[in-house]
Structure 1
Amino acid sequence: MIDQLQKSIIEYDVESAKKIAEEMVKAGIDPIKAVNEGIAP
């Protein structure tokens, strides 16, 4: 999922990024981990 989030952000696909982020939270993925691995360079 983190790879999908990163791709959505790179492609400026806001709706997809939002949906993936919500799915990650529901799946119990730590938001800090998602930011550090998916968004931060």
Structure 2
Amino acid sequence: QDLVKSHLLLAVREEVEALREQIRELSERRAALERENRLLRALA
């Protein structure tokens, strides 16, 4: 029982870490797109 529980907790922690990384990457991408958008608007 405890082994299953600890295995599940580990799997969940790994998944959460992967999602955090994905959020970080998407946030950076969004910031870059916003900068690009501001630049293009300024040039238009």
By the TM > 0.5 criterion, same fold?
no
Q: Which is richer in helix? A: 2
Which one scores higher on RCO, CA 8 angstroms, separation ≥ 6? 1
Question: TM bucket by the smaller chain?
Answer: 0.3 to 0.5
TM-score by length of 1: 0.39
Rg bigger for which structure?
2
